[in-house]
Amino acid sequence: MFVRTSWRRLAHRLRQSAVFVAFPLIACAQASSQTATASSGGGRPANVAAEPRLIVAITVDQMRYDYLERFAGQYQSGLARLIKGGAIYTNAYQDHANTETAPGHATILSGREPYRTGIVLNAIGVPDANAPLIGGGGPGASPFRFRGTALIDWMKAKDRRSRALSVSRKDRGAILPVGRAKESVFWYASNGNFTTSRYYSDTLPTWVKRFNARRIPQQYAGKAWEPLLPLSAYPEPDTVSVEDLGREPAFPHRLSADSAIAARDIIGFPWMDDLTVSFALDGVNAMRLGAGPAPDLLAVSLSTTDAVGHRFGMASRELHDQMLRLDRAIGTLIDSLYKLRDSSTIVISLTADHAVTLPPELAKAEPGAPPPMRVDLSDVAKEFRTAIAARGADSNAFDFEDAMLFVDKESLEKKGIKLDSLARAFADAAKREPGVYRADVFQTILKADTSDFIVRRWRHAVPPDYPVLVVVTLNHGSVWGSYATGIHGSPWDDDGHVPLVFYGPTIAPGRHAEFETVASLGPTLARLIGASPGEPVDGHVLTAAIR
């Protein structure tokens, strides 16, 4: 989410590297033959509803599983419906160490962890200068780094006529759930318009232009965000000094009276989710999604929870209020879809791209454990860069951001720098710093026992051919940096434990406590329409969720 200068350089270098040459779509011939068998299996039992015509995959950006339980008594709309009638996996994880938005969204409908999707970090997720936005308002973006296939490809392998609409406030939240597919993919630009990039199209459809012409975001100028319910409904204190880094820790929070600034800043307010839902519904209408000859996919990623979680933290009154408003927004989405289409033909899933860690300032020390803290290894990295420059190498060939050390192997080796010794030296230096739990040479992670969940999540985080030398894990509860109140991105369960819910007439309601991963979401949705992944996946079909 915060692309720093050195990362832009690195992304540029990685772009040139053979590692990042776009993979062709894997042919789905195998999938077609499998699904032919599955769907010609002698008819369905009489009590099973018809095959869904519309799959609705909802992703909440930065939602912890425990938000489903913490506010359950106050949900009354969309989340209440999913909790009451859904198949809920209470112990489901984004099972990778890089718990950021891009890797999480790439996993959601691909069945695969980042080591297979190639989407490792936000900074080297979707940015693509060769794919500018139509009408501007943000950096170019495309899925050119995404490897392999996703649900919409598996659907199309079964029936070419299936279509997808994917929408989000964020480029990565809209792009990655549909992999490389050139479907209808739209996100929100800072000029107040929903748009897409030249990867997908050279023009915007009429319905998108019409939606933008209504200038809805600008109409929020000057509006104040106040708690939805009476204050007695919120047990959290409002003024907590760490919230919003002390700037505006208490309600109300007001959008600028300037309409252009309001259209830019609305991304931090609950109304952005309402706007995304309205936009998605306009698209469903205009595209006749779910009313076509083959099953369609609607992917909706709602991003305000991430903005509020970063600004105020997971324990804040603001986060509590955001969840109540998200419940209503999801309710509007589901109720409206049920008015537009036969509800017996719709299946819905809910998950998150990642969760979040409690701000260390608010954490209670665990007995015998080091106190959670904010960690910054940039000084350590700087010493190494200086030493590398002294050897005549380009200091930009060494790039440590947060948890991973990327290098330009060729340019270091040319100057006689041994990568093995560099990796060991940096890992040793990192381990000496306060807040660091472990620093692993990545090559040893590739050989280590994956029953250790930290090893497994790092193994899942990075393709073996990526130029990563060292991966650093902080103590439980510690976070990288001080740029925001709430921070995520670690291999700990705090950042990985997310909701995984299925809902609809072909879903068997119930609660399941066994360990599962979000990589199982795509294969399970595929099974509901008789499709299956066209390549090896990390997840599996959650048969207990299916009637």
Nearer to Zn ion, 148 or 360 (CB): 360
Residue closest to Zn ion, measured at CB: 306
Is 496 in contact with 457 (CB distance < 8 Å)? Answer: yes
CB of 1 to Zn ion, least distance (A): 5
Is 460 in contact with 538 (CB distance < 8 Å)? Answer: yes
CB of 353 to Zn ion, least distance (A): 8
Please give the helix or strand (H or E) that residue 55 lies within, else none: strand 54-60
Nearer to Zn ion, 306 or 538 (CB): 306
Nearer to Zn ion, 497 or 527 (CB): 497
CA–CA distance, 136 with 196 (Å, rounded to integer): 9
CB of 492 to Zn ion, least distance (A): 15
Q: Per DSSP, which regions of 99-254 are E strands? A: 164-168, 184-188, 194-195, 224-225, 253-254
Token pair listed for 191: 């000029």
Nearer to Zn ion, 110 or 485 (CB): 485
Token pair listed for 465: 């051919």
- Look at residues 107, 109, 112, 118 and name the one whose alpha carbon lies nearest to residue 151: 109
CB of 499 to Zn ion, least distance (A): 16
Angle 472-478-484 (CA atoms, 0-180°, nearest 5)?
Answer: 105
Token pair listed for 140: 């170019």
Give the helix, strand, coil percentages of the chain, each rounded to 5: 40, 15, 45
Nearer to Zn ion, 440 or 494 (CB): 494
CB of 101 to Zn ion, least distance (A): 6
CB of 92 to Zn ion, least distance (A): 19
CB of 106 to Zn ion, least distance (A): 15
Beta carbons within 8 Å of 142's beta carbon, 6+ residues apart: 126, 128, 130, 131, 175, 197, 199
Please name the residue that has the structure tokens 């329409």: 529
What's the one-letter identity of residue 529? I
First to last CA, the chain: 39
Nearer to Zn ion, 244 or 306 (CB): 306
CB of 481 to Zn ion, least distance (A): 12
Nearer to Zn ion, 122 or 162 (CB): 122
Residue ranges in contact with Zn ion by CB under 5 A: 306
Q: Which residues pair with 57 in a beta bridge?
A: 299, 349
Nearer to Zn ion, 170 or 328 (CB): 170
